[in-house]
Every structure is written in C-alpha cells, then in structure tokens.
Amino acid sequence: MKKLIVLFISVILLTGCGKVTKDDFINSFKEKVNSSKAYEITSKMEIYNAEDTFTYDIKVYYMDDDYFKVEMVNTLSEHEQVILRNNDEVYVVTPSLNKSYKFVSEWPYNSSQSYILNTLVKDIDESKEVKFEETDENYILTVDVNYPNNSNLSYEKMYFDKKKNLTKVDVYDTDDIVAISVLFSKIDYKANLNKSDFDINKMIDENCCNTDEDEEKLEEQESSSILNDIVYPLYVPANTFLKEKEVVDTEAGERAILTFNGDKNFVLIEEVMHTNDEFEIIPVYGDPLMLSNTIGALSSNSLSWNVDNVSYYLASNDLSTAEILSIADSLNVVDVVLEK
C-alpha cells in the first residue's frame, strides 16, 4: 500500500511539473482576455525615434461590445489625449484644447496596438508563425505585427512572468531593434466599468468649462499668437524641394504655409495652438494615427496634429501614408531645422 501511495504522489508531482506547451499557453492567455467582460490596464509606453525617446503614461479601459477608452499623457510635455470608442464611433479628444476629432473607424482592430489586450490576441491569431520560448524568468511569445502605416515595424515579443501575467511588449523594426516598448504595471481583468465611462457627452461635460489655470493659458496663447519658430521637416521625399514660404495673419494669429514641389508635392501649415471656448467635435474621414509624441487625425490625403503649442496640417495628393508619417515624425525630433 505504501508503494502505491508513493507511486501515486510521484505521478502527481510529475504531472504538475510538466513542461508548458505553446498551444496551452496561448489558449490560456486568449481565454483570459476573451472571457473578460471589462478590464483596466496601467502601463508606460516608450517610442524610440532616431536618438529620441518619447514616453507615455497610459491607462486602458475596455468593456464588452468593443467599448474602449485610452488615456495617454506625454510625460515630457504633459500633453494629454484620450482615444474613445463607443457605438462604432471613435474620438480623439484633447481636453486642454476643448477639441475632439470624430471618426467612423475600425480602430483599434485596424492596426496592432501594443498596449491593448484585444489587439495582442488578434496579432497572435493572424501571425504566420508564433514562436514560444521559456526562460528562467519569463514565457515569451514572438508574433508578427500589422502596422499598415509603418511597414518598418516587423514583429513583437510579449513577455509573461512565471504566473503567466503579461508584463511587457516590445515591438521590433526590420533591423531587429526595439521601436516601441510597453511595460505593464497593472492588469485588472474584472474592472468595475459601465457604459457611462465611455460616453463622449460625459467627457464634454467634464471638460466644458475652463479652470482659472486654463483661462490663464488661453490668455497667454491669445497674447502670443506669433509663431516663435517655423519648423522644417528633416525628411522630404527625393527630388522634392521647398518652393514657397508664406506667413499670413488670421483672426487666431500667424499661420505659416510651406509649399513643397517636385516629384511629391505637398503643403505644410503651421500655426499657434489655441484652446476653444466651447468643446468642438471635428468629423474626419480617416483614422487616429500614433506619431512619436502625439496622436494625429489621418485622412486619405492629409494629417492633422498638435504638439509643442503648434498645430500642424499636412496635405498631399502625391504622398503615401507612410511618407506623410515620415515627414510628420521628422518634425518632432530634437534636431529640427528652425527659423525665427
């Protein structure tokens, strides 16, 4: 009898210590995400652009029926933006400007989003090959990514601790260099959320009235409506050159219009960023687009974004979306070309 007991215990121990298989691990993670009725995530994201690093504090809220809210704060500029999805409508809200872009968009499913669990699962499902690795400290999944507007991003590694908790996602470029890194500090799969948390009207009500501090900033902006610098892109397509520069006065202040001609014609407009007195929603036929240090509004042939107290608008019938993104990102690096 003792021998039978010892044998039984040995079988249990061997079974319990069995090697984790790729399929079981993937199914476990997918089940955890897909069975969640509502989750909340706290993370920090770093985007590496040339020699610069742009860091965001991110909170993600998800609820069944594809309700999403992503709060992003650029830690350097403290510029806050919110991406909100409800009822098939997507908003990119900039609370400090009392402004939002409104899209009819498939976001977040139309592109990989390394900070959202649902799209990580989608990446696993759509990857041509999923690689699984176990180390002393981690389980690692390596999968393909889908960034339609940035073909330079190739694959991502998802890191899990020994309790199978997701801890980090690194996105690599085609040179096997990390381009985006997301570090997860909290994932609550049983968050207490309701539909009102994803209501754009509630957000408008919360941001409808400027505080005294906002009013002071608004007065400062109105009193300093002159562009301190005109910013020129470091990247311009081959055989394309600056043809004309014009600075005009508008009711809101100065506006610089840069016209580039050649093989790829485009226009770049820059003006001082202004806060609206009342909340404004601007319809856009396109999608939200993550740049290095802000979220822009991308249409079929244009991109609008706000950064460093300047509003930018880039339009072209000749540029591809990837080229538009490259020009925009080249305006956001430290070593930009300025003119006083």
- Tell me: pLDDT of 335 over 60: no
pLDDT bin (cut points 50, 70, 90) of residue 51 is confident
| pLDDT higher than 80, residue 191 | yes
pLDDT at residue 295 above 50? yes
The fold of the 20-188 domain, in CATH, is: outer membrane lipoprotein receptor (LolB), chain A (2.50.20)
Round to whole Å and give the CA distance between 237 and 253: 30
pLDDT per position as a tens digit, 159-169 = 999 999 999 99
Q: How far apart are CA 332 and CA 52, in angstroms?
A: 9
Identify whether 108 is preceded by a cis peptide bond (ω within 30 of 0).
yes
Helix-, strand-, coil-residue percentages of the chain, each rounded to 5 = 20, 45, 35
Q: Which residues of 135-170 are buried (b: 16+ CB within 10 A; e: fewer)?
A: eeeebbbbbbbebebbeebbbbbbbbeeeeebbbbb
Measured distance CA(224)–CA(212) in Å, rounded:
18
Residue 152 or residue 11, greater confidence:
152
87 or 132, higher pLDDT: 132
DSSP 8-state symbol, 176: S
Least confident of 95-109, 219-233, 255-269: 219-233
In the chain, where does DSSP find H-type helix? 2-16, 22-34, 117-126, 200-207, 212-223, 321-330
CB-based contact 302:252 (threshold 8 Å): no
Domain ranges of the chain: 20-188, 220-274+300-339
This prediction has a pTM of 0.86
Instruction: Give me the pLDDT at residue 214, please.
Output: 52
Bridging pattern class, strands 280-284 and 99-103: parallel
